[in-house]
Amino acid sequence: MNQLLKKGVVLATISLFAFAATNCKPKEKDDNLGLLLAALYLSQGYEATVTLTATLADASSIATRDGKVTITNGTTNTLTDGQGTVSDFTACQTATALSVGSPGTGLDGEFVLNFKVNQSTGNYTLTAVGSTGANNATTGACDLIAALDASTYTEAIGTASMDVNINAADLTNTNQVAITANGFKITVKSVTVVIKGQYNLVSPTVGENICDGKNVSGSPEVLSGDITTTKTISNSAILSGTVTVKNGGKLVVSPGATIFGNRGSSLFIQDNGTLDAQGTAASPICFTSSQNPGSRYPSDWGGIVIIGNGIPTRTSNTEGTTPQSYPRTLSSTATLKYVIVEFAGNEVAPGDELNGISSYAVTNSSNYSYVQIHRGLDDSFEWWGGTVTGDHLLSTGGLDDDFDMDEGFTGTLNTLIGVKYPSACGGSASTDPHGMEMDGSHSLGVAPVLAGSTYTNPGVSNFTLIGSEVSGGWGQRYREGMVGTFSNGLVYGFAAGNFLCNTNAGGGAATNPTGSNLLGQSGKTNTVGPCASLGPVSTLTATPITSLGNIAGTDCGFSATKPDFTTISGLAATGGGASGNKWWDSWTVYRAR
């Protein structure tokens, strides 16, 4: 009984630490019993996580692309403490002004607010602002808005009153939210509510238990600022803000450890820094959200960013709240094995979200092996230049590209699986959620400008890409002068088509990768254009894996039946599940929130 009480206290503490971490001394451990008991007491109170998807428009129903919406307490004080400012930028998709809800608008003007409340009813204020750098009706505004700085969002649009009345019997009913706005419009598209304690995960995997904190003992250590010495996390830690491993620093994460990311946090490895996170199939390592299990959501925290001294096609700055230049003068190293990164992708500006793992000019001194990125808002894996190698990589439920190779990436990747989740599982997909996206260079594919740099030229073998018929998504898109070799690939379930090859618009070298044994879905488009050596064949008449299990339909990863990515009979040598050894079994995770 005492052990059970202790475990309950520890799990309850995680969210409290997430709220209080910014007031803690860096890297200090706190085992205060009074704090733990207070956390346990607080955990008994009501708490619900509300995910609101809506659109912002002017009084004429013209979608506001350069918008930002923020929620604060209204006449009630029912937002839970410690959330900070909860806001989201509106999505921008089209080049002309369109009315919200008209055919083809897709995500235009859409925003998503994910917030916690301590009462089932409450009143809140939604504050809408626009950017001083764009006009909503300007033709071509989407390209302009994508480049806007977050600091330009100061132009007042107005405020709206929002009443929330949670219906425990129907937690997805849009009538739970009523919004009144004057002079502009906010239209509710969907509402999803998760009540704390209602977490119906059946037969969790080893990885799900670790990510949900079941192995945590004691108080998580708080990490913040710079790490310049060797720091070992043997059980658990919480990231607060931007944590940077640099100047000879080394972060060692032991098998079975859990690293929780606060809202707005991220982990950077740069300037002779090292991340050594090597788990096992029986004890994987998890980087996850500090929110309660069942109340986690894509973009809860940033993700992992590694910056090396390899050769991309240009010098530039990374994404994130504290952008860093790349390439660096000094190398950095990340060794990842049996690692899960989930619920990452914090948006810091319109169209600027961190990925699960971002690799900038990372050399082959680093290696990613048996790594899963789960439920990220932006790309799961993205490479800008560099030569890092990877094998047995899994992307599940991502809302943009599963694998994105840019700016001269020349690494070798093998045994890859990417699977999209149904829209019913929540989250706002991007306008072009591809399985793989490959860009040869920067600025529409102009010639590389750094000495020694080349167009993107990876070697990719044995991959499976499964879509969920989301608008705008291709299985693979090749463009901007990229080349490379791709073999033994399976593509199925993408709304736009299987394979798309675009002519280089930047006037540089031709886009011309080489493919062998690339199989796509029968009846879906293959637009190979200039890619004469790609040679894909559309012959797949059914999903080419054994089973999607509980990530199909509306189960969203919660029911007992786990997916089996083994390639179906007759295609045994093809795809990321070709070996038949079920390399993903037991250590990976699937629940959607």
Tell me what the mean pLDDT of segment 409-413 comes to: 98
* Residue, of 361 and 321, whose pLDDT is higher: 361
pLDDT at 203 over 80: yes
Residue corresponding to tokens 């793989």:
436
Task: Specify the pLDDT at position 37.
Answer: 34
Tell me what the mean pLDDT of segment 260-266 comes to: 93
Per-residue pLDDT tens for 128-161?
999 888 765 554 566 677 777 888 899 999 999 9
pLDDT at 402 over 80: yes
- Summary mean pLDDT of the chain: 88
What is the longest distance spanned by two Cα atoms in the chain?
A: 70
144 and 267, same domain (yes or no): no
Across the beta sheet with 184-195, the strand order is 110-117, 48-58, 184-195
The tally of CA atoms less than 13 A away on the side-chain side of residue 590 is 32
Per-residue pLDDT tens for 209-226?
999 999 999 999 999 999
The tally of CA atoms less than 13 A away on the side-chain side of residue 583 is 20
Q: Is residue 200 part of a domain?
A: no
Where does the pLDDT of residue 8 fall: very low under 50, low under 70, confident under 90, or very high at 90 and above? very low
- Three-state secondary-structure class, residue 334: strand
Q: Is residue 405 part of a domain?
A: yes
Q: Are 331 and 273 in contact (CB under 8 A)?
A: no
In terms of residue numbers, what domain contains 140? 48-195
295 and 392, same domain (yes or no): yes
Q: Is residue 8 part of a domain?
A: no
pLDDT at 263 over 50: yes
Q: Are 48 and 194 in contact (CB under 8 A)?
A: yes
* Residue 281 token pair: 């199939």
Number of domains in the chain: 2
Q: Is residue 36 part of a domain?
A: no
Q: Are 411 and 383 in contact (CB under 8 A)?
A: yes
* Residue, of 25 and 453, whose pLDDT is higher: 453
Lowest average pLDDT, out of 16-25, 356-365, 426-435, 575-584, goes to: 16-25
Where does the pLDDT of residue 426 fall: very low under 50, low under 70, confident under 90, or very high at 90 and above? confident
410 and 360, same domain (yes or no): yes
Task: Specify the pLDDT at position 44.
Answer: 52
Tell me what the mean pLDDT of segment 305-327 comes to: 94
Q: Is 386 left (phi over 0), alpha (psi -120 to 50) or beta?
A: left
pLDDT at 31 over 60: no
Where does the pLDDT of residue 92 fall: very low under 50, low under 70, confident under 90, or very high at 90 and above? confident
Q: Is residue 17 part of a domain?
A: no
* Residue, of 573 and 329, whose pLDDT is higher: 329
pTM of the model: 0.83
169 and 237, same domain (yes or no): no
Q: Are 350 and 372 in contact (CB under 8 A)?
A: no
Where does the pLDDT of residue 40 fall: very low under 50, low under 70, confident under 90, or very high at 90 and above? very low
99 and 172, same domain (yes or no): yes
Task: Specify the pLDDT at position 41.
Answer: 35
191 and 231, same domain (yes or no): no
Percentage of the chain with pLDDT > 70? 88
228 and 184, same domain (yes or no): no
pLDDT at 413 over 90: yes
Where does the pLDDT of residue 16 fall: very low under 50, low under 70, confident under 90, or very high at 90 and above? low
pLDDT at 378 over 60: yes
* Residue, of 409 and 189, whose pLDDT is higher: 409
Tell me what the mean pLDDT of segment 529-538 comes to: 91
Q: Is residue 39 part of a domain?
A: no
177 and 249, same domain (yes or no): no
Task: Specify the pLDDT at position 133.
Answer: 82
Nearest Cα to Cα of residue 429 among 189, 186, 164, 134? 189
164 and 236, same domain (yes or no): no
* Residue 456 token pair: 């993107």
Q: Is residue 589 part of a domain?
A: no
pLDDT at 43 over 80: no
Where does the pLDDT of residue 22 fall: very low under 50, low under 70, confident under 90, or very high at 90 and above? very low
Task: Specify the pLDDT at position 428.
Answer: 82
* Residue 561 token pair: 């039946």
Q: Is residue 523 part of a domain?
A: yes
Residue 135 CB neighbour total at 10 angstroms: 13
Lowest average pLDDT, out of 62-71, 99-108, 522-531, 567-576, goes to: 99-108
Tell me what the mean pLDDT of segment 471-496 comes to: 96
Per-residue pLDDT tens for 283-306?
999 999 999 898 899 999 999 999
